[in-house]
Amino acid sequence: MPTWTPRLWRSRLKNGLQTLLIMGGLALVLAVPGYLLAGGLGLLVSLGAVVAGALASTWVPARVILADAGAGLLERHQAPTLYRLLDTLYRRAGLRRPPQLFYTPSEDLNAFAVGTRHDGGIAVTEGLLRVLTLRELAGVLAHEVSHLRHGDTQVMSMAATMTRLTLFLTTVLQISLLLMLPMILAGEFRLPWGLLLVVAFAPSLSTLLQLALSRNREYTADLDAMALTGDPEGLASALGVLERHHGRWLATLFGRHPPAGLDWLRTHPPTQERIRRLMAARVPDHPPLHAHHGDHAHVPPVIIERPGPKGKRYWIRRR
């Protein structure tokens, strides 16, 4: 298990409280249009639909993502160094299920967690394996292990379900207002200004809260990854590489310095702020993970064989 310093505990507690507040805000924004449409019954039905949708989404989306990405299962003999790394990360994170690593042939620099801590794994792209050193990749993998450990895929799935349902309910309200427009113009029905404000702002507010939740979970995963690896510099270096790669399209659109206001519309926090928080946190007492790999930690990992895509039929049948 990773060693948590008092500063790390405070940061994790702060992020946890922020998560609860944001989820509460999403539920409140959803509850208002549900209540306006059908009273208490509408409120209960809306929240029940969120729970049902979140449970259903944990069974399907991970495999859909893997199928769309053309992913293949990277076996242990094909990437022994990465699996030894994951074995240590899983053990420190308290995950009992054997690690699974998936490979996608994309040249983009990306990694993502799929599924849950009981039935999930981590997918990495060809571009990431080619560009990052083993030390940097350890930080990225630890970040994704943290997402699995804390069930972030389920949390974000529930938030996305709330946002979609809020949009649906406000659309129904808009149609209802249009149908009542002749009555409003004839003076038979008073114009509900409060209802109009809900219809106008609820979808945008729900989307902003969902993005804020995503940024919050990224901060938490960064700190947890540092506790798992004992190496904030490794993850910070990887974040710098990813920022230089992914920031190019923003520079192309907006020039050298993208507008600061775009930070509110990002799923991930600003990279410089993530690096600042990593370097400000106290390093745990256990030795850095990359120390076990010697000189090999400063070069990309060796992949003996790249797997081919499994195909959509494999992912649909696989459980």
Q: Rounded to the nearest 10 degrees, what angle do helices 6-57 and 152-179 cross at? A: 60
Contact 128, 137 (CB under 8 A): yes
pLDDT tens digits, residue range 121-173?
Answer: 899 999 999 999 999 999 999 999 999 998 888 888 888 888 888 888 888 88
Check residue 310 and report its DSSP letter.
Answer: -
Residue closest to 15 by CA, chosen among 171, 218, 317: 218
Residue 1 placed within a domain: no
Residue 136 placed within a domain: yes
The domain tally of the chain equals 1
Element (H, E) at 123: strand 120-125
Question: So which residues are the catalytic ones?
Answer: 144
Contact 238, 285 (CB under 8 A): no
**Does pLDDT of 40 surpass 50?**
yes
Residue 66 placed within a domain: yes
Residue 125 placed within a domain: yes
Helix, strand, coil percent content, the chain, rounded in steps of 5? 70, 5, 25
Q: What does residue 102 show for φ and ψ, rounded to 5 degrees?
A: -110, 150
- For 262, the domain range is 6-317
Question: Which pTM does this prediction carry?
Answer: 0.81
Q: What is the DSSP string of 171-212?
A: HHHHHHHHHTHHHHHTTSS---HHHHHHHHHHHHHHHHHHHH
Least reliable range by pLDDT among 67-76, 108-117, 240-249: 240-249
